[in-house]
Amino acid sequence: MSVTVYVPADATALSLGAQPVADAIAAEAGKRGLQIRLVRNGSRGLFWLEPLVEVATAAGRHAYGPVAAADVPGLFEAGFLEGRAHPLHLGLTEEIPALKSQQRLTFARVGVVNPGSVEDYVAHQGYVGLRRALAMAPAEIVAAVTQSGLRGRGGAAFPTGIKWQTVLDQPPQQKYVACNADEGDSGTFADRLLMEGDPLALIEGMTIAGLAVGATQGFIYLRVEYPHAHRALNRAIQAAREAGYLGSNVLGSGRSFDLEVRLGAGAYICGEETSMLESLEGRRGEVRVRPPLPAVKGLFGRPTIVNNVISLASVPTILQHGAAFYRDFGSGKSRGTIPLQLAGNVKRGGLFERAFGLTLRELLYDYGGGTASGRPIRAVQVGGPLGAYMPESQFDTAIDYEALSDIGALLGHGGVVVFDDTVDMAGMARYAMEFCAKESCGKCTPCRIGSTRGVELLDRVMANVERERNLQLVEELCETMLHGSLCGLGGMTPYPVQSALKHFKEDFLAGPRPSSAVAQ
């Protein structure tokens, strides 16, 4: 009987050398005349252990990592195909503390299944939610999502069920489900990990959304920087179609739903939902004025559900186990789980799915193990480029929407970027303005002009030119951008700037450090 060996084909694993490892395992097995079945799974998200090789045994899957191609002959020699000891042996995968302590609902199958296989997906409880949904009335599906307490995981945290209800309430006509997979926030990769590791969960979630509101066509707006996810999604859509889970007669129900992936073209602003709709329609990604809401008049002028990848991929779990099951995770008004992404200067970076309520400190130290550089953590940015910088004194904040918002921060898409004490926070504040200037769609003045003026003002502050007066102007500019911008790009760029000023003022008074002096 052949042994099954798993080597991730996830982009991060590949970026750390997973392909040569897979090749070496196949070659070594051939040389030794051993029959193995090599499965290219997604990543478990424990990136300090990638490339993480797993071997299926009677006792469960054994993990070895991080494996380099040169380690492969030694692994065979030690008997890794039977789960034997080796310096890289991590024991049973499910028992690795950083994995075992998680509450994986949305990511339950990521790293476990073969991402291209409907058969494997179904064998791991896939499509149970869709079968339930097919037996329910649209209003019942929407009610389940509403009662689960699920809120938009893209960053805005708007209740998903309410959005769906609005689309359901529109008169019958062509309606759409548009998935926002334009994961542009630095420090986030949850969407990518899911699309590469368990794309059928997203496809199932979108199909359920279609059934819930009477939409027959879905679009996944995927950023062009994710070529691996693009291939994984297209493969999975094709497989789902062939198996009868997508198309004009979903599982013989007579209901129709199909999907298409459309690529973005490197514009951060297209993660904003109305800008994404413009882009999907083939235009410049300029923000639309609301109302009308996309739920009323969205893609091609039709009622459209716009949800993030993780929101949609959480729906099958809710339908499968019921709204109460999902709602019972979490704290306060933040229900369910959140895939937290730990990135930047961190020793053990990766994705950790937990119920809301974990503290930032637990995430940074218990999971992250501090910085990669071994120096003290000075600041973390939570929620992407538009999120606030937080100092050590705020690390005991619970990770939920309200607790973060209470201290002027935001959870966003759940990315946490760690900086050690070599960071120049004035440089990071300047970068926030610079990024906004680069990525502004140009439609509203506070964002288009304000961001450029912000860069200039911060340059003057750092060069000690009329510092007090210019700091005052930065504050005023931030207020104008906050209140006068059309969307979150201009409206939230002040968060990193103001928080850096509030918590790390000394950096603005010292002049630029050499490390930030590199001209762009």
To another protein, the closest distance from the beta carbon of 214 in angstroms equals 19
Shorter beta-carbon distance to another protein: residue 327 or 347: 347
Q: Where are the alpha helices (DSSP H) in 215-272?
A: 227-242
294 belongs to the binding site for another protein (CB under 8 A): no
- The residue from 233, 240, 246, 267 that contacts another protein (CB under 8 A) is 267
Distance CA 464, CA 478 (A): 20
Q: Where are the alpha helices (DSSP H) in 289-408?
A: 309-321, 323-327, 360-361, 401-406
Shorter beta-carbon distance to another protein: residue 47 or 76: 47
Q: Is 465 exposed, middle or buried (0-12, 13-18, 19+ CB in 10 A)?
A: exposed
- The residue from 107, 268, 329, 508 that contacts another protein (CB under 8 A) is 268
**Which residues ranging from 308 to 367 are in contact with another protein (CB under 8 A)?**
341-346, 349-350
- The residue from 26, 38, 92, 263 that contacts another protein (CB under 8 A) is 263
Distance CA 459, CA 515 (A): 15
Helix, coil or strand: residue 219? strand
306 belongs to the binding site for another protein (CB under 8 A): no
Shorter beta-carbon distance to another protein: residue 161 or 387: 387
- The residue from 80, 431, 495, 508 that contacts another protein (CB under 8 A) is 431
What per-residue string of b and e applies to 252-274 under the rule 16 or more CB within 10 Å gives b?
A: eeebebbbebebbeebbbbbbbb
- The residue from 77, 119, 281, 466 that contacts another protein (CB under 8 A) is 281
Two structure tokens written together for 411: 């959870």
**Which residues ranging from 160 to 219 are in contact with another protein (CB under 8 A)?**
183-189, 192
First to last CA, the chain: 57
Helix 190-197 / helix 227-242 crossing angle, nearest 10 deg: 40
- The residue from 160, 304, 308, 381 that contacts another protein (CB under 8 A) is 381
265 belongs to the binding site for another protein (CB under 8 A): yes
Shorter beta-carbon distance to another protein: residue 329 or 419: 419
509 belongs to the binding site for another protein (CB under 8 A): no
Two structure tokens written together for 73: 């002959």
Give 352-381 as a DSSP string.
Answer: EEEETT-BHHIIIIIIT-S-SSSSPEEEEE
Shorter beta-carbon distance to another protein: residue 258 or 402: 258
Q: Which residues bind another protein (CB under 8 A)?
A: 11-12, 14-16, 47, 183-189, 192, 224-228, 262-268, 279-285, 300, 341-346, 349-350, 372, 381, 385, 415, 417-420, 422-423, 428, 431, 435, 438-439, 441, 515-516, 518, 520
